[in-house]
């Protein structure tokens, strides 16, 4: 991350309440499919923009998860890194059958199409994750603050 | 009413040996063995021990990062491997076992694809650095003959013409380009740019004659391009006395995600595609297809061919109907297509 803040006055969102655990959640016999809240919880603590996530679509039958994130400002240079961190986190924690797509919320970034194309190219994502320096930065972003 | 006769894709065997994603498979030119490679940085050579395919050799320590693609030389004595470590290795079995005796360096970053010309005298590589390199082969020495900077983005695939020294490449810049050496000044230059795809073109396949190319893309379509030579019959204008390539068919509406690979069978003329929706599909040209406006029909769709993205498909060079596939699920599969 740079020395100076790119967005000195980010829009702050109210932190969502912790998920309440119900009796059903603890019952091992109940098939518990992934839901949007669960995906949200998996990525909500990724560092930098406080709560960039505005839309999550999940289709358990089709094994699809689509996350649309909103960069804090339309020229945010960290958009690719944030998207990559979301993608990496979901690749690591979800079963491999899921097709994960991460995109910028339409109309919220100047390089939306270019960033989306790069995030969707699994070959370039794979190559990026073999770069130790980049991997370290991503791990720092994903690392949950205690 | 047009009745489509659907064929059956029968799974012959699942080959497990790689750790992690398998990016590519390549049949030996005589079809007796199969090479595969992936993110575990190894090349596995599979051979048949009737009736099963088994691991014959595992090649390691040639690369320090993912091996993206491998290619057998036309003589079958060499394997070239393209790696994310920005090098291409050439393996030979002169000593009785495969050894890496040459490493081609020069690309600035990940090498994505490698291909041998039909004579075996030229090698092409391409990279995320946007360039295509042509290497000359002389007695196990590899010399760079050209660095072609025609694409504006990451180059995904290079494939030589089946019987001429003409090479085609596909790119993240959504185009396909064709390159040829100018006999006057020995310079390699782009002789055609094929534009129509609306996203990354991942792969291509030449037909047997080399006058048609099939391409597949992130835009979820397959396109067939036809070559029109100077003085062609339909009267298509060919400036500079160079062939013109036109898109004569778009196969759309079948694939639901990125199409990562395509292969055109030299014996049956069937097309096979590898898709990010885990499905392997086979297409056949219609018997009443107009040569200037081709039509293809899907004759097979194998759901859950793999449990994750299918990265590569390749028809067997001599046995019609046999094919191999590779997937993110870590497996290689051998299939047989029955019409």
pLDDT tens per residue across span B48-103: 998 899 999 999 999 999 999 999 999 999 999 999 999 999 999 988 899 999 99
Work out how many CB contacts closer than 8 A connect A with B: 37
**Count of positions (residues) in chain A:** 146
pLDDT tens per residue across span B176-231: 999 999 988 889 999 999 999 999 999 999 999 999 999 999 999 999 999 999 99
Is residue B333 in some structural domain? yes
Minimum mean pLDDT among A18-32, A53-67, B96-110: which range?
Answer: A18-32
Total domain count for chain B?
1
pLDDT tens per residue across span A5-26: 555 555 555 556 667 777 777 7
Contact A96 B328 (CB under 8 A): yes
Q: Hey, which residues 62-81 in chain B have their CB within 8 Å of chain A?
A: 65-66, 68
**pLDDT at residue A145 tops 90:** no
Contacts of A127 in chain B (CB under 8 A): 66, 84, 109-110, 128
pLDDT tens per residue across span B228-258: 999 998 899 998 888 999 999 999 999 999 9
CATH code of A36-142, in short, is: 3.30.300
Contact A126 B65 (CB under 8 A): no
Task: Tell me what the mean pLDDT of segment B285-295 comes to.
Answer: 92
Strands of A13-98 (E only): list them.
Answer: 53-59, 64-69
Contact B66 A96 (CB under 8 A): no
Contact A121 B84 (CB under 8 A): no
Is residue B21 in some structural domain? yes
CA–CA dist A25, A22 (Å, integer): 5
Q: What does the pLDDT read at residue B273?
A: 98
Contacts of B217 in chain A (CB under 8 A): none
Instruction: Say if CB B332 and CB B326 are below 8 A apart.
Output: yes
Is residue B279 in some structural domain? yes
User: Coil, strand or helix: which one is A26?
Assistant: helix
Ordered strands of the B141-148 beta sheet: B111-116, B122-127, B132-138, B141-148
Is residue B28 in some structural domain? yes
Domain that includes residue B84, residue range: 8-338
What is the domain partition of chain A in residue ranges? 36-142
Q: What does the pLDDT read at residue A135?
A: 92
Mean residue pLDDT of chain A comes to 81
Instruction: Say if CB B224 and CB B213 are below 8 A apart.
Output: yes
Contact A123 B112 (CB under 8 A): yes
User: For residue A38, what pLDDT band results from cuts at 50, 70 and 90?
Assistant: confident
Residue B249: give its domain's CATH number. 2.130.10.10
Nearest CA in chain A to B330: A96
Contacts of B328 in chain A (CB under 8 A): 96
Q: What does the pLDDT read at residue B148?
A: 97
Contact B309 A122 (CB under 8 A): yes
- For chain A, say whether B181 makes contact (Cβ under 8 Å): no
Q: Hey, which residues 10-39 in chain B have their CB within 8 Å of chain A?
A: 21, 39
Strands of B50-174 (E only): list them.
Answer: 52-59, 67-72, 78-83, 88-92, 99-104, 111-116, 122-127, 132-138, 141-148, 155-160, 166-171
Is residue B173 in some structural domain? yes
User: For residue A1, what pLDDT band results from cuts at 50, 70 and 90?
Assistant: very low
Contacts of A59 in chain B (CB under 8 A): none
- For chain B, say whether A122 makes contact (Cβ under 8 Å): yes
Is residue B3 in some structural domain? no
Structural element, H or E, at residue A85: helix A79-93
The torsion angles phi and psi of A79, rounded to 5 degrees, stand at -55, -45
């Amino acid at each position: 991350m740079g020395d100076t803040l790119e967005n000195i006055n980010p829009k702050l969102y109210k932190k969502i309440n912790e998920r309440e655990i119900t009796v059903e959640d603890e019952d091992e016999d109940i098939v518990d499919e992934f839901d949007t809240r669960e995906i949200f919880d998996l990525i909500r603590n990724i560092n930098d923009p406080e709560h960039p996530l505005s839309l999550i679509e999940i289709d358990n039958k089709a094994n699809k998860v689509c996350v649309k994130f909103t960069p804090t400002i339309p020229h945010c240079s960290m958009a690719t890194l944030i998207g990559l961190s979301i993608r990496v986190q979901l690749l690591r924690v979800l079963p491999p059958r899921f097709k994960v797509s991460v995109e910028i919320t339409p109309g919220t970034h100047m390089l939306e199409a270019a960033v989306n194309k790069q995030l969707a190219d699994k070959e370039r994502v794979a190559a990026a994750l073999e770069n130790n320096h980049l991997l370290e930065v991503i791990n720092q972003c994903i690392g949950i603050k205690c | 009413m047009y009745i489509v006769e659907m064929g059956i894709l029968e799974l012959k065997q699942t080959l497990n040996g790689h750790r992690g994603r398998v990016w590519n498979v390549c049949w030996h030119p005589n079809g007796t063995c199969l090479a595969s490679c992936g993110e575990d940085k190894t090349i596995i050579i599979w051979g048949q021990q009737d009736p099963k395919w088994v691991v014959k050799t595992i090649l390691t320590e040639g690369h320090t990062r993912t091996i993206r693609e491998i290619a057998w030389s036309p003589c079958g004595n060499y394997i070239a491997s393209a790696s994310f470590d920005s090098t291409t290795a050439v393996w030979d079995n002169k000593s009785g076992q495969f050894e890496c005796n040459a490493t081609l360096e020069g690309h600035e970053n990940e090498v994505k694809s490698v291909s041998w010309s039909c004579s075996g005298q030229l090698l092409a590589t391409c990279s995320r650095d946007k360039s295509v390199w042509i290497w000359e082969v002389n007695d196990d020495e590899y010399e760079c003959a050209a660095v072609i900077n025609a694409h504006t983005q990451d180059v995904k695939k290079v494939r030589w013409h089946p019987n001429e020294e003409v090479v085609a490449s596909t790119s993240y810049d959504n185009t396909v380009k064709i390159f040829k050496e100018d006999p006057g000044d020995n310079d390699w230059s782009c002789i055609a740019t094929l534009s129509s795809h609306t996203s990354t073109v991942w792969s291509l396949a030449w037909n047997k004659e080399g006058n048609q190319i099939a391409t597949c893309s992130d835009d979820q379509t397959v396109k067939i391009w036809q070559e029109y030579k100077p003085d062609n019959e339909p009267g298509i204008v060919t400036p500079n006395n160079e062939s013109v390539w036109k898109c004569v068919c778009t196969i759309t509406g079948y694939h639901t995600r990125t199409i990562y690979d395509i292969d055109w069978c030299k014996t049956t003329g069937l097309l096979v595609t590898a898709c990010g929706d885990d499905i392997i599909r086979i297409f056949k040209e219609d018997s009443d297809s107009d040569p200037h406006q081709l039509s293809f029909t899907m004759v097979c769709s194998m759901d859950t061919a793999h449990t994750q993205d299918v990265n590569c498909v390749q028809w067997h060079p001599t046995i019609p109907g046999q094919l191999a596939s590779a997937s993110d699920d870590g497996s290689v599969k051998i299939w047989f297509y029955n019409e």
